[in-house]
Amino acid sequence: MRNISAISLAIIFIACLTSSAFAQTTQPFNWSGPYVGGTLSLVKSHATTDVSTSDSFPGSYFTPPDPEQIANTAHGNIKQSRLGLGGFGGVGRQFGKLYLGLEASISSLRFDGARSSGAIYISNPAGSFNNELSVRANSQAMLRTRLGWTHDRWMTYLTGGVAATRITMDASFSDNFLGAGASGQATSRETKLGWSMGFGGEYALSNNWVIRCEYSYVDYGRVNTSAFVTNPAFPALGNNLINSVDLNAQIFSVGISYRF
């Protein structure tokens, strides 16, 4: 009788544990609440370079077709692919299967590229010119909304918002026309706001730990720096040479987060 009672209690105890575990595994996951995490990313950055100036005005150093030739040779691309690390944090709320959230992040951009261009002047084959441009942007920060669709422990989402980075540009121009030649240098540092959009998916490993995979695109638009070019042989003549860069990046990231 005692043995039967002990066996019965053991069966009841095992049944309770089994039903409890089953309830935990079948209970829908709730995505509401705050979270923090980190990412490992592949960042594919792309910068388009351009140069512009003018001529045919009183005091112009350049003559036709110098501006067009300089612009044509300077137009080009700088492409880089780098690994980066980042951190993020956010908060969200689940409404049925719909998820709405706000997330802030900071990550490494690590863009550091340069481009050199030059040619013999069409206007005067006795001289040639060279234009150097370098661009750097080390990190970026983003503030984005997230719109997701949940299915228990899975969630897919769209994301979009604003991005910010600090871009440093160094530009220099020189030629060898008439002795010393012309030259001009400029440096600019600008905190640039841009926009970002992307999509991704997450999976909850447990009630606290979540893994994610995401693609995002960020565009910072155009940044300019202006160098005044003059030649000691013609001190009264000069031109403003404007170097421009359009910077954008594609970011492929994987990450893990802890939900509170």
What residues contact residue 41 under an 8 Å CB cut-off, 6+ apart? Answer: 83, 84, 85, 86, 107, 108, 251, 252, 253, 254
Do 135 and 23 share a structural domain?
A: no
Give the pLDDT score at 259: 97
Span 43-53, average pLDDT: 97
User: Rg of the chain's alpha carbons, rounded to an integer?
Assistant: 29
Task: Check whether residue 205 and residue 154 sit in a common domain.
Answer: yes
- Which of 56-65, 97-106, 175-184 shows the highest mean pLDDT? 97-106
pLDDT, tens only, 200-209? 999 999 999 9
Residue range 28-38: mean pLDDT, rounded: 96
Same domain, 145 and 20: no
Regarding whether 239 and 184 lie in a shared domain, the answer is yes
Same structural domain for residues 198 and 242? yes
Q: Which domain holds residue 175?
A: 31-259
Tokens of 252: 């492929």
My answer on whether 21 and 138 are in the same domain is no
Taking 50 as the threshold, does the pLDDT of residue 3 lie above it?
A: no
User: How many other CB atoms are there within 10 angstroms of residue 96's CB atom?
Assistant: 7
User: Is the domain of 11 the same as that of 106?
Assistant: no
167 touches 192 (CB < 8 A): yes
- Buried b / exposed e over 140-160, threshold 16 CB at 10 Å, is bebebebebebeebebebebb
Q: Which two tokens stand for residue 158?
A: 């769209």
Beta-carbon contacts of residue 224 (< 8 Å; ≥ 6 apart):
188, 242, 243, 244
Both 100 and 39 in one domain: the answer is yes
Mark whether 9 and 96 lie in a shared domain: no
The tally of domains found in the chain comes to 2
- What is the pTM assigned to this prediction? 0.84
Q: Are 74 and 170 members of one domain? A: yes
Within this chain, do residues 1 and 64 fall inside the same structural domain, yes or no?
no
pLDDT at 9: 38
CA torsion, ordered 154, 156, 162, 168, to nearest 10 deg: 80
Q: What is the pLDDT of residue 26?
A: 55
Task: Indicate whether 111 and 198 sit together in one domain.
Answer: yes
CA distance 260 to 245: 42
134-160 confidence digits (pLDDT tens) = 999 999 999 999 999 999 999 999 999
167 CB neighbour count, 10 Å cutoff: 21
Nearest to 113 by CA among 130, 134, 132: 134
Is the pLDDT score of 250 beyond 50? yes
pLDDT at 178: 81
* Measured distance CA(60)–CA(240) in Å, rounded: 9
pLDDT tens for each residue of 108-139: 999 999 999 999 999 999 999 999 999 999 99
CATH number of 215's domain: 2.40.160.20
